[in-house]
Amino acid sequence: MKKIMTAGPTMVRENVLAARALPFTNPDIDMDFFDMYMETCDMLETLAGATSGQALILGGEGMLGLEAAAASLTEPGDRVLIIENGIFGRGFKDFVELYGGNTVVFKGNYKRPIDVEVLREFLNKDNNFKYASFVHVDTPTGVLNDVQAIGTLLNEYGIMSVVDSVAGLFGESLSFDSSKIDILIGGSQKALSAPPGLSMVWVSERAWKSMEKRKQPIASYYANLTLMKNYFVDKVFPYTMPISDINGLRVAIENVLADGGILARHREVAMACRGALTRAGIELYLESGWANTVTAFVVPEKVSCQLLLEDMVKDYGIMLSGSLEEFEGKLVRIGHMGENAYDEVMAETLRALDGALRKQGFEPLAGMADYFVAFMK
C-alpha cells in the first residue's frame, strides 16, 4: 500500500473509508438524508466560521466548486479581477472568460504572498469590478496568501470575493465572516483527508443576491449554485447526491472537529519539514509565505525529478508530487496536510527522500529525518 504524501489527494483514515462502505439509501427521496446533508453542511459552516454564509456539498472534485462560482456569478461583460501569484490563481481567468466575463489580472510575485499594500494602490486606480478571485494556498508552489487582509480590502471597495481554499482549509486558519468572503471553495481530498470527488462551497447573502439579480440565466446546469440553495425547503437536489462519498465526508469532518490541535499540528510539521530540507542543503522555492499544508523544494542540480519521484515509489512506497506547467521537472512537493501531517509518516518520508537523493549522487548536508524528529520533540 503506497503512502500518499502528495499535495493532494492525501491519505485517508480508516473510519472514513468504513463510512463510505456503509449501506445507503435513496438520497432523492429519503428525508433522513436531507437532514444528514444539512447537518453536515452546518458542521462545515462552523469549521469555516461562516455564521453568515450557507455551506453546500457538490458532487464533483474541487474544480467543480471553482467553475460553479464563476458560472453562478459571471454574466457576459462583467469585469472580474484575477489576483494571482500562482498557477491556480491565474487559471481562474479561464473560468471567468468561459462564461463571458472580462478579466483584469493583478499579478504578484510567485515567490511571495500577494502584497496587500500594492494591491490597495492598484484598487485606488481601478476598482470597478463585480468580484475578484484569489487563492489561499496556490498548491503548485505552496504559497500562502493572507485571506483576511485581501478579503477585507476588497470589501472596502464593494468588490465581492471568490476564494479558492482547496489546499488551505482545515490546515490553515480561515474565517469566512471576518474575511468578508462571498464564495469560498474547498475540496474533500486535501487537509480534510477524504477521498477526491466532492467540492464544498460557502456562499454569502451578498453572493446569493447577486445571482438572483442576474439579467441573463446561468449558462450551466451542473455548475448552477442557485439550484442548490433551497434544497432543504424544497426537498429536492438538482442531481442525485453521491451519498457514500458524503457519508465519508461527514466522518472526516467529525475527525477535524474532534482534533483541537489540528492547526498547531500542521504549523509544527510544516516548520520541521522546511527546517529539515534547508539543513540538508535543499533549496525551498519560496522566499516567504510558506503554507502549512504543502512544501515545494527545488530539485537539486544533476538530480532527475522524474527518477526521484519514481524511486520514492519503487524503493520506499511513498508518493510525492512534482509540479505543473513552468515548474514541471523543477519542483517537488511534499503534502503535509490532514492525515499526512503526523510525526511518524513525515519522518519516514524524509528518510526515504534522503535515500532517493543519495541514489542520484546528491549528498544531503544533514539527516532530514533526524532533524525533523528532534524538532518535533
- How far, CA to CA in Å, does 56 sit from each of 64, 114, 118, 156? 12, 28, 34, 27
Is the distance from CB of 170 to CB of 338 less than 8 angstroms? yes
Q: Record the pTM.
A: 0.97
Query: How many C-beta neighbours within 10 Å does residue 362 have?
Result: 18
Any idea what DSSP says for residue 339? G
Q: How many residues does the chain have?
A: 377
> CA torsion, points 228, 164, 178, 209, in degrees to nearest 10?
-40
Angle at 226 between CA 157 and CA 129, to 5 degrees: 20
Question: Coil, strand, or helix at residue 55?
Answer: strand
Half-sphere exposure of 122 (CA within 13 A, CB side): 19
Pairing of strands 3-4, 318-319: parallel
Which amino acid is located at 111 in the chain? K
Query: How many C-beta neighbours within 10 Å does residue 45 have?
Result: 18
Cα 142 to Cα 286: distance, rounded to the nearest angstrom: 8
The tens digit of pLDDT for each residue in 29-57 reads: 999 999 999 999 999 999 999 999 999 99
Any idea what DSSP says for residue 255? H
Percent helix, strand, coil in the chain, to 5, is 45, 15, 40
Question: Coil, strand, or helix at residue 100?
Answer: coil
State the cell numbers at 13: 483514515
Is the distance from CB of 3 to CB of 11 less than 8 angstroms? yes
Give strand ranges (E) for the chain. 3-4, 53-58, 79-84, 102-107, 131-135, 137-138, 143-144, 160-164, 183-187, 199-204, 294-298, 318-319, 331-335
- How far, CA to CA in Å, does 187 sit from each of 46, 134, 170? 16, 16, 11
In tens digits, the chain (377 residues) has pLDDT values of 899 999 999 999 999 999 999 999 999 999 999 999 999 999 999 999 999 999 999 999 999 999 999 999 999 999 999 999 999 999 999 999 999 999 999 999 999 999 999 999 999 999 999 999 999 999 999 999 999 999 999 999 999 999 999 999 999 999 999 999 999 999 999 999 999 999 999 999 999 999 999 999 999 999 999 999 999 999 999 999 999 999 999 999 999 999 999 999 999 999 999 999 999 999 999 999 999 999 999 999 999 999 999 999 999 999 999 999 999 999 999 999 999 999 999 999 999 999 999 999 999 999 999 999 999 98
Radius of gyration of the chain (CA): 21
Angle at 91 between CA 214 and CA 282, to 5 degrees: 150
